[in-house]
Amino acid sequence: MITKIVLTGFAVVIGWLAVLAGVMLVSDAAPAALVMFPDPTFLNDLPQGVAILSQNAVSVTLISEMSGFGAALYRAGAIVVLPAGLLGCVPLTS
């Protein structure tokens, strides 16, 4: 029973990450991108107009206003690109 619950939870997390990565590939909805496990040479191959917001041992957060930002990061060699900087369900105030 416990194994089934753990496997179901693992499948849900993997599915959720796949949806987020797919959204980043086909949409420009996110203002920034979180690149997980970047190659050591990845930052040298960034497209023009991409800025680094933060960087650590396992990820780098990037921002750009270019169209097709997520797809450009995949072309530059990113393995996993997740959306960053989205407000989620928080309402916008004026």
Taking only the tens of pLDDT, the chain with its 94 residues reads 889 999 999 999 999 989 888 888 888 888 899 999 998 889 898 989 999 999 998 999 999 999 999 999 999 999 999 998 776 665 556 5
What pLDDT score was predicted for residue 28?
82
What pLDDT score was predicted for residue 88?
64
Where are the strands (E) in the chain, listed by range? 32-36, 51-55, 59-63, 80-84
What pLDDT score was predicted for residue 81?
93
pTM summary value: 0.78
* All domains in the chain, ordered by first residue: 2-84 (3.30.70)
